[in-house]
Chain A
Amino acid sequence: MEFMYATKEQFERLVDFKGAREYHLSKSRKKKDKRMSLSEAIAEYVKDGDILAETGFSYVRSPIQAYFEIIRQKKKNMVSIGSPMSNTSYLMTMGCVYAIHLSYIGVEMRGNDKNFARAIKTKQAEILSIWSHGSMALGFKAAQLGAPFIAAKQLLGSDMLKYNPYVKVIENPVGLDKSEPVVIIPALFPDVCIIHVQKADRYGNAVIEGPAVNDIALAAACRKVIITAEKIVPEMTIRELGNACIPFWYVDAVVELPYGALPGCCPGCYYWAREWWEWLVRVGTPKQENVDDIMRYWVFECKDQFDFIEKLGGIRFIDQATRLMEAAQANIDDSLVSFDYQEVIPKWD
């Protein structure tokens, strides 16, 4: 394979089953206190050239404050993967990510992401392979299951097959119908993921509330795992709950990071900063200078999530975001809660 930026080694590392196994074998098993600051965790475990897997669901329980720290630390030459992977948009235009395994970059009905379009058009970043959400999810799942590949029924007949050098169509050798086409999807092993959770203990045992999306699989698949948590709870709390979905031995670093998913939402905690996203999509993406402006104000001029919250409106914002989430989850009487908000900027496309 010839790529503009990515190396052959970076391309192959994603499906290097043995390499990932060797890496996992070399990790410390010690059940130790893994807490550190966000900047320490990103400095230590996210390296230039890493394959970064996006977690959560674009802007639901995604470690967005950690992505901002990646931008502040000016990481570079990274390859991004994830289903979905909407935060990769600004990681590309901020120069951190130079190649992607594409499933979906966008913000649903809020229009096409011009940032993403520009990054590809102006060759700030390149596409290495193209996937659907489900086929990529199966690649992560195969890795978690320890299966070298999974045979699947999506992707067949689509043009994505021509743009995905990792997958292969074969006739099902074990099916009742031996001529039935299936797609072979290899187990996918990214280098690092950051998973934002509601609760974790100091060792890394983590509890996810709401949809886990691909995160349980990614915690197993990735060589390195950073947990950012709304709350660090005593180990006994996790044991009593009995529903941790990520065991401590997968985890390299634990960061106490309340509001770490802002400006996205975190189930059980807070609703989106919806205006922020619309501002980003409609104003922040048409030109590189707009992105630079937005990132200067919201990322470089914020040392942490609390500075960010002050800019969103401080305690009033937090109170409202918390209340909206409680109402959305039907945990409070929502008769006095309004989900109305002002879309200041008109939708252009």
Chain B
Amino acid sequence: MSKVAPPNPLEMLAYNIAQMIEDDQIVYVGTGLPMVGAILAKKTHAPNITLVYESGGQDPLEGQMPWSVGCPFTYRKSPAVLEMAVSFGQCAIGYVDIAFQGGAQIDMYGNVNTSVIGSYENLKSILPGSGGGNDIGSLTQKSVLVGLQTPDRFPARVDFITTPGYLDGGDSREKAGLMGGPIAVVTQVGIYDFEPVTKRMRIKALNPGMSVEIAQACTGFELLVPDEVPFIEPPSDEVLEILRKEVDPRGVFIKMPAR
């Protein structure tokens, strides 16, 4: 028996984020779990990726987990830093391969809401706003959405489209003039992709111990289910040790909250 405890759902989430990244890519990193996943990728299967941040930090020397996207660890001995408009410009002109985005709500077409629950006229709760989310999701070739999956957080339609996914599905994203698009959604349940024609969210693979029924129960709309649903191999002990000891040793993002 292995002495290393099996991954908890947040650790699986971080691991699945990391698996989205291929070596040598330029990766646009936001705050929170995507940062954990990107740093895990760099310390394991993708040592030659270059991390870029919206605050302007580019290609930092390896160090601790940044406390914020503006943290000195995002531009630690960087050869250069860029102004914000230029940093986003890189996504538009094709110098960024993949980006990650979280959201309070993600819908069946991959639209993301980080603005408001309810509406601005009839507020239930107000969220921080787009920040760089809209820019990254509108401009980057491939984006990956990250969220904790519950029926409330995964409604059929988001209350407010802060970052467009495939809008109303089909070719509506392209028609709106947007480039790139979301390629996957990573949650504590598993990984989803978008059916190529309708652009509806579809199960791609599930975490160990999960099932199609659980995935559907965590979702506010009908998921597309392929004929065969593969299960994701859990990370090796070695990868888990790196995640726990080197990437997020204080467990800020990967420790499950106490009940």
Contact assessment for A272 and B176 in the assembled complex, using a CB-CB cutoff below 8 Å: no
Contact assessment for B88 and A213 in the assembled complex, using a CB-CB cutoff below 8 Å: no
> Is B16's beta carbon under 8 Å from chain A?
no
Chain A residues with Cβ below 8 Å from B43 are none
Set A154, A159, A169: member contacting B135, Cβ < 8 A:
A154
Interface bits A213-235 vs B (CB < 8 Å: 1, else 0)? 11011000000000000000000
Chain B residues with Cβ below 8 Å from A339 are 64
Contact assessment for B139 and A274 in the assembled complex, using a CB-CB cutoff below 8 Å: no
User: How long is the Cα–Cα vector from A135 to B138 in the complex, in angstroms?
Assistant: 11
- Most chain B CB atoms below 10 A, which of A132, A140, A163, A267: A132
> Is B2's beta carbon under 8 Å from chain A?
no
User: How long is the Cα–Cα vector from A320 to B112 in the complex, in angstroms?
Assistant: 40
Chain B residues with Cβ below 8 Å from A157 are 138, 161, 164, 167, 172-173, 176-178
> Is B192's beta carbon under 8 Å from chain A?
no
Contact assessment for B88 and A154 in the assembled complex, using a CB-CB cutoff below 8 Å: yes
Interface segment, B66-74, B195-203, B211-219, B229-237? B66-74
Set B70, B126, B177: member contacting A58, Cβ < 8 A:
B70
> Is B134's beta carbon under 8 Å from chain A?
yes
> Is A98's beta carbon under 8 Å from chain B?
no
> Is A340's beta carbon under 8 Å from chain B?
yes
> Is A31's beta carbon under 8 Å from chain B?
no
Set B81, B138, B177: member contacting A210, Cβ < 8 A:
B81
> Is B182's beta carbon under 8 Å from chain A?
no
* In the complex with contacts A109-B253, A133-B135, A267-B123 CB distance below 8 A: no
Chain A residues with Cβ below 8 Å from B127 are 106, 112
Nearest B residue (CB) for A182: B177
* In the complex with contacts A154-B88, A154-B135, A339-B64, A210-B126 CB distance below 8 A: no
Interface bits A121-140 vs B (CB < 8 Å: 1, else 0)? 10000010011111101101
* In the complex with contacts A104-B128, A160-B130, A153-B70 CB distance below 8 A: no
User: How long is the Cα–Cα vector from A131 to B253 in the complex, in angstroms?
Assistant: 28
> Is B63's beta carbon under 8 Å from chain A?
yes
User: How long is the Cα–Cα vector from A26 to B106 in the complex, in angstroms?
Assistant: 50
Please provide the chain B residues from 55 to 109 with a CB less than 8 Å away from any CB of chain A in the complex.
55-57, 61, 63-64, 67-73, 75-77, 81-85, 88, 92
Closest chain A CB from B160 CB (angstroms): 5
Contact assessment for B61 and A158 in the assembled complex, using a CB-CB cutoff below 8 Å: no
> Is A205's beta carbon under 8 Å from chain B?
no
Contact assessment for B120 and A163 in the assembled complex, using a CB-CB cutoff below 8 Å: yes
Contact assessment for B68 and A213 in the assembled complex, using a CB-CB cutoff below 8 Å: no
User: How long is the Cα–Cα vector from A103 to B132 in the complex, in angstroms?
Assistant: 9
Nearest A residue (CB) for B129: A104
* In the complex with contacts A113-B128, A153-B179, A217-B134 CB distance below 8 A: no
Contact assessment for A274 and B88 in the assembled complex, using a CB-CB cutoff below 8 Å: no
Tell me the interface secondary structure of chain B in the complex: loop
> Is A265's beta carbon under 8 Å from chain B?
yes
Contact assessment for B129 and A103 in the assembled complex, using a CB-CB cutoff below 8 Å: yes
Please provide the chain A residues from 186 to 211 with a CB less than 8 Å away from any CB of chain B in the complex.
210-211
User: How long is the Cα–Cα vector from A253 to B259 in the complex, in angstroms?
Assistant: 53
Contact assessment for A135 and B126 in the assembled complex, using a CB-CB cutoff below 8 Å: no
Contact assessment for A212 and B128 in the assembled complex, using a CB-CB cutoff below 8 Å: no
Please provide the chain A residues from 93 to 126 with a CB less than 8 Å away from any CB of chain B in the complex.
102-106, 108-109, 112-113, 116-117, 120-121
Chain B residues with Cβ below 8 Å from A274 are 67
Set B76, B131, B176: member contacting A330, Cβ < 8 A:
B76
Contact assessment for A181 and B177 in the assembled complex, using a CB-CB cutoff below 8 Å: yes
Set A56, A106, A216: member contacting B83, Cβ < 8 A:
A216
> Is B245's beta carbon under 8 Å from chain A?
no
Closest chain B CB from A228 CB (angstroms): 18
Nearest A residue (CB) for B162: A158
Chain B residues with Cβ below 8 Å from A340 are 250
Chain B residues with Cβ below 8 Å from A156 are 138, 164, 176-178
Contact assessment for B177 and A130 in the assembled complex, using a CB-CB cutoff below 8 Å: no
- Most chain B CB atoms below 10 A, which of A138, A153, A340: A153
Contact assessment for A108 and B88 in the assembled complex, using a CB-CB cutoff below 8 Å: no
Contact assessment for A138 and B85 in the assembled complex, using a CB-CB cutoff below 8 Å: yes
Contact assessment for B85 and A134 in the assembled complex, using a CB-CB cutoff below 8 Å: yes
> Is A11's beta carbon under 8 Å from chain B?
no
Please provide the chain B residues from 148 to 199 with a CB less than 8 Å away from any CB of chain A in the complex.
160-164, 167, 172-173, 176-179
Contact assessment for A130 and B77 in the assembled complex, using a CB-CB cutoff below 8 Å: no
Set B55, B167, B173, B179: member contacting A211, Cβ < 8 A:
B55
Contact assessment for A132 and B134 in the assembled complex, using a CB-CB cutoff below 8 Å: yes
Set B69, B82, B162: member contacting A159, Cβ < 8 A:
B162
Q: Give the interface of A toward B (CB within 8 A).
A: 56-60, 83-84, 102-106, 108-109, 112-113, 116-117, 120-121, 127, 130-135, 137-138, 140-141, 153-160, 163, 169, 180-182, 210-214, 216-217, 265, 267, 271-272, 274, 325, 328-330, 339-340, 347
Nearest 8 interchain pairs by C-beta: A106-B128, A211-B56, A181-B177, A134-B135, A157-B176, A132-B134, A60-B70, A104-B131
- 23 A–B pairs (Cβ distance < 8 Å), ordered by A: A60-B71, A105-B128, A112-B127, A121-B123, A132-B138, A133-B132, A134-B134, A135-B135, A141-B85, A153-B92, A153-B178, A155-B134, A156-B178, A157-B161, A158-B134, A182-B177, A213-B55, A213-B70, A217-B85, A265-B72, A325-B72, A328-B71, A330-B61
